[in-house]
Amino acid sequence: MKILLIGEYSNLHNSLKKGLLSLGHEVILLGSGDGFKKYDVDILIKSTIFENKFLKIIAKIIDKIFKFSLNELEIYFKSKKIIKKFSNFDIVQLINESPFNTSANLEISLLKYIFKNNKKVFLLACGVDNKSLKYAIDKKFRYSILTPYFENNSLKKEYRHILKYLNSDYNKLSNYIEKNIQGIISSDLDYHIPYFNSKKYLGMIPNPIDIDNLNDYANPLSKKIVILHAINSKNKLKKGNKFFEKSLSIIEAKYSNKIKVVRTIDKSYSDHIKNVKNCNILLDQVYAYDQGYNALEAMALGKVVLTGAEKEWREHYNIVEDHVVINAMPDISYLVEKLSLLIENPGKIKIISKNAREFILKYHDYKTITKKYLEAWEN
């Protein structure tokens, strides 16, 4: 089959592409590389306005005053020119409801061509979108990426780029996509739960992890336990990084002779994965029920990860608490307790490390997951 994957924010589509190619399919991955992360894509579409300091200032002023993005307009015209080359694909999959990273109305304009000129189009519920945000704004989750905003409305400015998905334009985009796609697939429980009753929902297919590329599984313990806190500056509020930072301050004072803390900000994927390989414990995110892609790749490398692992996840996979991954919660004393337990009992790190790798092999092997996508698309 000819397959077009649009968008890449985590390596999900890259791993799926590798699995599809191994089964003899023809695959093209189109995307922006996701800014500083620089993920691999076959066709790169990104804005270059922000690479010029003068144009960057002008674009920001226009965006602030007129709420109009030159960045999105540039991406739109580049995308419009490129997608005319892509038609008659058997399968097209959108990484989420804004796969081109433009405004809602411009997304609709681009997607009209995709729907008209290709056979089947599917949507991944993966990342912030209209439906998952409506579920969160109604406080149906015990906590979510909106929790900091609920607790402090003065953060509205910082949440502007998230809350926009609730406006009428994005509601229109969401309805337009749902009307024209063949089906919706979620990547983990954080999206499965909001989409569960959607008409075209096909179910959850766990994230595909390229275990062949992440085959140097190891978590050796040296004199000091290495804790990695990797921050994405744009997402630090919704990831709950402040809880990790405050916990680390306490842990560093308590165990200065036993640990080494590595803090990074906005590293490219290639640099980040090197840091992951050199750590023992990764602090990922707080406001999640399930593991995202970053956590899963670290688990594939045998790292102990503090991330989403709520009771819904444990029930779904029949997991005993803390045997595979450590559930991270927005509670400093809780996080300090969990980290202290690991530092004082390094044998526990080795056990979780082994279990984490085995969990990925059992539930997230990209070759097995690829077959599940093919079944969903074809049936």
Q: Which pLDDT band, with edges at 50, 70 and 90, does 222 fall under?
A: confident
Structure confidence by residue, pLDDT tens digits, 178-210: 999 999 999 999 999 999 999 999 999 999 999
| Reported confidence tier of residue 36, pLDDT bands at 50, 70, 90 | confident
pLDDT at residue 65 in the model? 62
Contact in structure between 186 and 180 (CB atoms under 8 Å): no
Sheet holding 259-265, edge to edge: 259-265, 225-231, 281-283, 304-307, 326-327
Residue 338, token pair as written in the block: 């969990």
Q: Can you give the pLDDT at residue 72?
A: 86
Q: Write down all domains in the chain, each with its CATH number in brackets.
A: 2-208+366-378 (3.40.50), 225-363 (3.40.50.2000)
What pLDDT, in 10s, does the model give residues 319-355?
A: 988 899 999 999 999 999 999 999 999 999 999 999 9
**pLDDT band at residue 67, thresholds of 50, 70 and 90?**
low
* CA-to-CA dists, residue 233 to 51, 88, 237, 374, angstroms: 18, 39, 8, 36
Confidence tier at 56 by pLDDT (50, 70, 90): low
Q: Which pLDDT does position 180 carry in this prediction?
A: 98
The answer on pLDDT for 66 being more than 60 is no
Phi, psi of 264 (to 5 degrees): -130, 155
Q: Are 47 and 71 in contact (CB under 8 A)?
A: yes
Q: What is the pLDDT of residue 70?
A: 79
What pLDDT sits at residue 125? 96
CA distance 98 to 181: 14
Q: Which residue has the higher pLDDT, 28 or 67?
A: 28
pLDDT band at 282 (very low <50, low <70, confident <90, very high): very high
- The residues, any chain, with a CB within 8 Å of residue 172's CB and separated by 6 or more, are 104, 108
Instruction: Please tell me the number of Cα atoms within 13 Å of 105 on its side-chain side.
Output: 6
First to last CA, the chain: 14
Question: What pLDDT score was predicted for residue 62?
Answer: 64
| C-beta of residue 70 within 8 angstroms of C-beta of residue 56 | no
CB 128 within 8 A of CB 165: yes
Range of lowest pLDDT (3-12, 68-77, 141-150): 68-77
Count CB neighbours of 287 within 10 A. 23
pLDDT on residue 71: 82
Split at pLDDT 50, 70, 90, the class of 159 is: very high
